Structure 1
Amino acid sequence: MADWGPVIIAVVLFVVLSPGLLFQIPGRGRVVEFGNMQTSGASILVHTIIYFGLLTIFTIAIGVHIYAG
């Protein structure tokens, strides 16, 4: 049996935390901008740190497991 939990969590977080798709921290004019479809180097760095932290929490600390097959 394969454990699909980390894969599904990583894909969902990647889509949700893509800079500029839903929100961008820091924005170009404000701290948070929503749906502007633009990005910057600083926002990529911030979103990467948030992504790594949440992925670590969900896969290691909480231990989400989804078994298929």
Structure 2
Amino acid sequence: MPAVAQLEKDAKHALAYQLLKVFLTQRLDAYLEFQAANSTLLQSCGLVHEDCITKMRLISLVDLGSDESG
């Protein structure tokens, strides 16, 4: 989507775009690295780290299952 792609180029919202990209295309380890480097972003967006970990675990599990099922 063009509107979401614009976030990547916007200095104010580039980190939010990276977070969205982590949730969409990566696994828990990538989220933990991102959170360690950008914990203030999560707080400013009103995100709870423990909730994000739970969601990333589920996303990672689904991704692993889809890789195995072919």
Q: In which range does the TM-score fall when normalised by the shorter chain? A: 0.3 to 0.5
Q: Which has the higher Rg, Structure 1 or Structure 2?
A: 1
TM-score by length of 2: 0.36
The structure showing larger relative contact order (alpha-carbon pairs under 8 Å, at least 6 residues apart) is 1
Instruction: Identify, as 1 or 2, the structure richer in strand.
Output: 1
TM-score by length of 1: 0.36
